[in-house]
Structure 1
Amino acid sequence: MLQYPQFDPIAFRLGPLAVHWYGITYLVAFGLFMLLARLRLKHEPFASVTGPGEWAAKDVEDMLFLGVIGVIVGGRLGYCLFYKPDFYLAHPLQIFYVWQGGMSFHGGMLGVILAQLWFAHSRGKPFWQVMDFVAPCVPLGLAMGRVGNFINGELWGRPADPSLPWAMVFPQSGSLVPRHPSQVYQFLMEGVLLFVILWIYARKERRPAQVSAAFLVGYGVFRFAAEYFREPDAFLGILALDMTMGQWLCVPMILLGVLLWVWAETRSEAPPRRTAQARR
């Protein structure tokens, strides 16, 4: 088994300012989104849209700005409401204590959806076209978040067989029990693998909402599976049906994704065809 390498969570200092690795991983995630979104501008149907709904690099910048707000606000409120509602109802001012940690992916996702709904409305773009544009650009950003979790030595896994070659001891857990490095599992599944699947799937023109549906199902399934290796939150533990809070939040996500994909498939509107000019 392996020993957790005990990273210093502070990357460097600039006078009294401490720059944390976790913050750097967020910046890298936003940079990856910019890079991938600019590549998406060359994909169909976005490359062929003309007129008021035409896509441009400025759209990517505005989407990222709104998305950052959605991630931070939605992620924080989601954590407070999904994981510790009683505590934050009793101490509402601590909702704003973001430096103490506590973010929820599912809350962040809802925040991003609302932010992109506003973007679509303000730019006169179809909502599902916007969401299908965004979906393949997200997983690598999520992967960077898991890198931050690993550096911080948080969200460690459940106890593992000591004979497992990559079982790891996390002193932060308060014991010397070998555990699954669940942050690495989530990095690989929810991040890298989901990105590859969505990027390939989205390269072929799909019906509106189907790429978004694939993201919901893909992330939901991978996160649900990863939760079997991740130590449940101590203040929640295992909930009904031997499932964690993360798994319970993934269930409606998966169901919604399946229903959304079926709804998109049964709609009469087919994916836009490329024009002769676009094919050239």
Structure 2
Amino acid sequence: MSKRYGLIGKNIDYSFSRAYFAEKFEKLKDKESVYVNFDLQNLSEFNDTVLNQKDLKGLNVTIPYKQSIIPYLDSLSKKAKAIGAVNTIQVNKKGQLKGYNTDWYGFYHSLKPLLKFHHKRALILGTGGASKAIEYALKKLGIKYIFVSRTKESDNLLYSELTEEILTKYTVIINTTPVGTFPNIDQMPEVPMEYINDRHIIYDLIYNPEETALMKAATLKGAKTKNGYEMLVLQAEKAYKIWNKPFERD
């Protein structure tokens, strides 16, 4: 019996997941498993394009569908429910779908080794689906946080409001936006770099390019930088374990 896995997203030719799992299956000498991209221009294509696949066992979900996929699922894990975003789906033999979030796990375990005593507060750049898992992980780490966005809401800052005082207090900065992703590698979020120093961690969820414009600018200021590659590997391995464990209904 074959096992089919895949990635749901939009414009995902660049995908990390397909290449990663193809290599994983090869290392495991697993000739039954296959991983494909489901590039959906609209999530309304999900039922006809994805769910009619034979032997479907598990899915990853990426931008822009991590939140909008939830109504299509039969159940959610407790953590996915708390986060409000899904990046992993387990499919049982009856075709029932259960949503999980492994992004928080990947971020948590890749950030934790970098933290020092003064890393008490964080700025989360962006308010999309990816930011929800980061928020959850920061809560687990006991780090206070505030969102930064281009549009003003009740509980966030604008980039134009990032003062020296704020950036002195908030020494962890996480970019959850796609700004700076290939091919737009010269772009970066509008963080005032003159206030960044060697007490800062700049964590960019982007992995292509390996070093973003934001990371380059931060490195010049002495900050510790990290891209999203390790987070991706950790979340992928966690997703693989979920796909291959017994299906549980919460």
Larger strand share, 1 or 2: 2
Larger helix share, 1 or 2: 1
Bigger relative contact order, structure 1 or 2, given CA contacts below 8 A and separation 6+? 1
